[in-house]
Each structure stands twice: as C-alpha cells, then as structure tokens.
Amino acid sequence: MQNKVLRAFLLVFAVALMAGMVSACAAPAAAPAAAPAAGSEAATTEAAAPAASGAPVVGIVLPTKDEPRWIQDEARFKDLLGTAGVPVEILFSQGDSAKEKANVESLLTKGIKVLILTPQDGAAAAAAAEEAKKAGAKVIAYDRLILNTDAVDYYVTFDSNAVGAAQAQYLVDKATGTGNPLYLYAGAASDNNAFLFFEGAWKVLQPKIADGTFVIKNSSEATALQDKAELTRDEQAKIIGQITTNWDFNTAKNLAEANLTVAKPEDKGNVFILAPNDGTARSIADTFAADKDVKSYVVTGQDAEKASVQYIIDGKQSMTVLKDVRTLAADAIAAARAFVDGTTPEQTNTYNNGKIDVPAKPSAVIAVDKDNVKAAIIDSGYWPATDFTGVQ
C-alpha cells in the first residue's frame, strides 16, 4: 500500500523532473542541472501531469567542493538526473561534519526516502545515519564507508584495496636494483578509505621493502614495521599519523617539504613516491621537482582528475588510478531506486564497518599512465580530448 502511494508520488515527480521543474533543487549551490534527457518513459506518457512539489526523494551529501573529485561526482549525478526517475537534491559539507549533519537533517525534514552520503569523517557520520534511519530513510554510503553503526543499508564503492595495490605495483614495476628511496603519503585518518588504500599498497610494497628494493625515507613507524606483511588497524594508524596529507593539497606540500628538508642528498636521487590521490600527488610532485637533489621521481595518484591527466601527459605525474565515477553514480542511483521501489540493490560483497557487514558492490579500477592515457581517458569518453594539450 505504502509502495503504491510512493510510486504514484514518484511518477508525478518524474514528470516534474522531465519538465525541468525540479532541476533547481539539484545542487542549489551550483549551476542548474543539465537539461533532462528527452524521451524517457515518464516524460512521454505523463508530460502534462502537474508537479505536486519539488521535495527531494533522494538526498545526496558530498564532502567538499574544494576537490575536483567531488565536483565531478556532482556533475555525474546531474547527468543521471534525467534517468533517476525521482527528484534528487545534492548538498556539500565543505569538510565539516557539523555541516554534513545539518545537511542530512535538512534533507530529512524535506522527506527524503533515501540518503546517499559520502562522510567527511566515517565515525562522526554515524549520528547522521542514525537520524536518517529513525526518520525511516534508507542510507547508502557513497565511496566512503560510514563507521560503527547499523544504520547503513548499502555501500557503493570502488575496490579501494585494489587502488592502493595498483599504485604500489606501479612503483614496484618502475624500480630496478636496490636501495631506492621510498616516500610514503596517505589520506585522512578520518576516512576509512585511507586505510584501505594504504593496506592495499602495503601488501605489494612490503615484500619489496623487506628485500631491499625500497628504503622508506619518511616514516619511522613504517620503518619499524617493515618486516610485517600484514598490519593491524592500529599499526596502520601509527604510520598514517606520520604520513597523512589529510586529503589537503597544502598539508601534502608542507609535509613533502618537511620530509625533503630533513632528508640527506643521498636519500633523494631517483625517488619513488606513494601519493594517495591526484590532488596531493600534484602538490607532492611539484615539491619534489623543485628539489635540486631529486634527479627523477615516480609518483602515484588516483581519481583521473583533469589536472592530473594533463600532468601525466606532460610527464609531471607518473600514473593515476581511474575510478569511473559514471559507474559509481549510476550504481548509487540504481540502489536508491531499488530502495524506493521496495526492493534490494545488487550485492556482490560486504564491508565490515565495525558494527555490521554492510552489503556492497565494489567497482573495478584501472591504472593509467602515459602509455594508456589516451585509450583509458579520452577514447573511453571519460574526458574530452579538447580538455588537454599534447595528447598523441
């Protein structure tokens, strides 16, 4: 019964969406949504139906507009609004858990049935998820897991361990001989992904540190643990505490500068750098490039941000990991639709969040460097060729 009413309600909104009547509620802080896709079923069958109201059925809360990664997610969600079939509102938390909670509360007040949340801080977000649960909304953790609560119904994500492993494997493949200087950097300790990325990287790097291929230069905690193939969460936390960029470009730059200031010339030369994502990679790469004792560097990244794709083309960043946000956003919308329709989204895995095993569907990732940048990024339609110079 409830489902019938909800479906009727959704149909009216789908029509309103097609008519562009609710586009203004998507991402109020940004440009209006792209024109809805023409020719969808709802548009052709019920085009004349009046819109009941612009209230969102799905609320999306993303972490910050300060990183291109999340602006991209917003854009990819907007591309999907025409096919979502439900009104969607997108809000940003600007790196602030209190704002994130206020965003969630405001969406709940508007009556959302599904919350898609990328937590700024995985543990702090539990309170907002629990409020959503109390209000009867389903909660989808988007890209980052919400920790230590049973109020998470689903997790759409990339295979984050595979991201770290791909970064590490790239460094291993480029290294020859022994004694190669290795500089480690990580994401924010408040983000569960930072642990998953590091865990994936450590599994690949550790044997190559143990056999002398690499020598860690910037973390005494990592050096102290270098003979351990598998680290506990506490051990990872100790290392991440020393090498965190907090996902912030300036923090990354300052940390790299501090590391190079104390490093001796013989700790530099041809260096290998595990950088956790593209924004931090560009800061760290620029810092290493400016050091006269650094002869060459191999640096990793992740996200295939446009600026980093250009850096790869220009030889200033070695690789990135493409996480196709089109897939992630589509999976999130499909899961939201399933919940709205009273069904269960597709599940292939579970992730333990400290309290429960959260049903999930991780997507594959692709390592990208100069050799496959054209095929993986441009020919695949991920970014247009016109956004770059020097593509061959």
**Binding-residue pattern over the window 241 to 270 for ligand BGC, x denoting contact by CB under 6 A:** ------x-----------------------
Is residue 73 a contact point for ligand BGC (CB under 6 A)? no
Return the number of the residue (101 or 323) whose C-beta is nearest ligand BGC: 323
What is the spatial distance between Cα 146 and Cα 123, in angstroms, rounded to a whole number?
A: 6
**Binding-residue pattern over the window 129 to 148 for ligand BGC, x denoting contact by CB under 6 A:** --------------xx----
Minimum distance between the CB of residue 69 and ligand BGC, rounded to whole angstroms? 5
Helices (H), 184-324: 192-210, 220-224, 233-243, 249-262, 278-289, 306-313
Return the number of the residue (153 or 191) whose C-beta is nearest ligand BGC: 191
Is residue 193 a contact point for ligand BGC (CB under 6 A)? yes
Minimum distance between the CB of residue 187 and ligand BGC, rounded to whole angstroms? 6
What is the spatial distance between Cα 254 and Cα 308, in angstroms, rounded to a whole number?
A: 19
Return the number of the residue (157 or 219) whose C-beta is nearest ligand BGC: 157
Is residue 67 a contact point for ligand BGC (CB under 6 A)? yes
Tokens at 87, concatenated: 């009104």
The dihedral through the CA atoms of 9, 12, 15, 19 has a sign that is negative
Is residue 169 a contact point for ligand BGC (CB under 6 A)? no
Beta bridge partners of 215: 181
Is residue 351 a contact point for ligand BGC (CB under 6 A)? no
Tokens at 279, concatenated: 């924004």
CB distance 25 to 82 below 8 Å: no
Within residues 272-331, the interface with ligand BGC by CB under 6 A covers 277, 302-303
Backbone angles phi and psi of 64, in degrees to 5: -160, 150
Backbone angles phi and psi of 154, in degrees to 5: -165, 155
**Binding-residue pattern over the window 36 to 65 for ligand BGC, x denoting contact by CB under 6 A:** ------------------------------
CB distance 88 to 77 below 8 Å: yes
Q: Which residue has the tokens 């950097």?
A: 185
Minimum distance between the CB of residue 292 and ligand BGC, rounded to whole angstroms? 30
Applying CB under 6 A, which residues contact ligand BGC?
Answer: 67, 69, 143-144, 187, 191, 193, 247, 277, 302-303
